[in-house]
Structure 1
Amino acid sequence: MKICLVEDDLELGRAVQALLQDAQHEVIWLRRVADARFWTAEQEFDAVVLDLGLPDGNGMDLLRSLRQADKKLPLIVITARDSIEDRLSGLDSGADDYLVKPFAGPELLARLRAVARRAGIEEGDDSPHQWQIKDLVLDEHRMVLSRGGERINLSRTEFAILLTLLKLPDRVVTRRQLESKTLNQTDGRSLDVHISNLRRKIGEGYIRTVRGIGYLIEQNA
């Protein structure tokens, strides 16, 4: 998994980063609220591990904004605040789990696996390679999109755009994220052309525009 670790303590941050990397996770370690807001807006993460006591802002406010931006993103709080009021506040603010310092490394890994399972995130070789939305089936390994067994021909860029959106159902993918992942050059007009061509090929009602922000696929719309 790709994990955003937000922890200002150098010693603990290094230890948790090493723990997660040893477990074969990709880790972006940040120490400030401002950096966390920037990185989580610009990149996609499978989970966030968040300390509440940060030097440039309120970690609880960051937690709320992360949850508001993404209802499904696994969020684990690690903090020294151990009162029942703090725990309830953290969980009510959007945390999926709340781990009090000091904690054992294996417990953090186990809790990460648990919240990932609840979010439908698979690890290792068992990760899905087929994605479905309504009557469309996309096979990532074969690079094939089909409807009722009939193949729909897409360009490489169109395929990459659709795959990116399907991997993040019900989540808004910003124009910048789509451009960086799927286009050789960040040309906003070029992205619009690809989206238009994709809609023409698969039909309307699949890709929704969030004006001024980006696009999303609503799984159950």
Structure 2
Amino acid sequence: MKTVSKSNEILYTIEGSRFLAQLHAVSSKEEADDIIRSIRKAHMKSTHVVSALRLDGEGYYDDDGEPAQTAGAPLLSLLEGEDIVFTLITCVRYFGGTKLGKGGLIRAYSESGREAIREASFQPLFQVRSFTLTFSYPDQNAVDHLLNMRNAFRGAIEYTQEIKAKVYLKETEGFHSQYLDATQGRGLIEPGEQVYIYQIGEQTFERGDYERKD
């Protein structure tokens, strides 16, 4: 699973028609709608502004006047096939005077989308459960050993009179009892929500903790 982190607009031309495709990182359908409106405004003389959106497993597309399932649907299939989430793909068409037919449209939009995906950069995403752990300094080695054994992702950590750490796990079964065993019952554990995380180097961030760049 991945989401777009950087994308530039690509140009695909066939039979005189120009297709301008680009990917955009989004968090909601409302955000995607805002982007589509801004693209329509920027390309007021275009023939169609086709789009496909995939959030957390939910998919939407808009053929924008092209024959049904010849434009937005192929773009959505690309997002699904690449397991790209929280991403909008737009494709602006300027008609070149030659009709492409249904098959030609599917190929044109598919190739435009594929080229946009090839040229984009992506960030791997992991769906995990977050936990906040509070434990004493003498228990740090035991907790570190447990987290390494569970392949936990490490988040923010605070060092005060005790250690408070944000961690993320893909698999959570048995973790609560293992943590209490590691701290001999002294540690506190606060289960959090299911979230999406990404990593930069050894640092872990929850999705949305970075500035989106298209």
- Report which structure shows greater RCO (CA 8 Å, sep ≥6): 2
Question: TM-score by structure 1 length?
Answer: 0.30
Question: TM-score by structure 2 length?
Answer: 0.30
Q: Relative to total residues, which structure has the larger helix share, 1 or 2?
A: 1
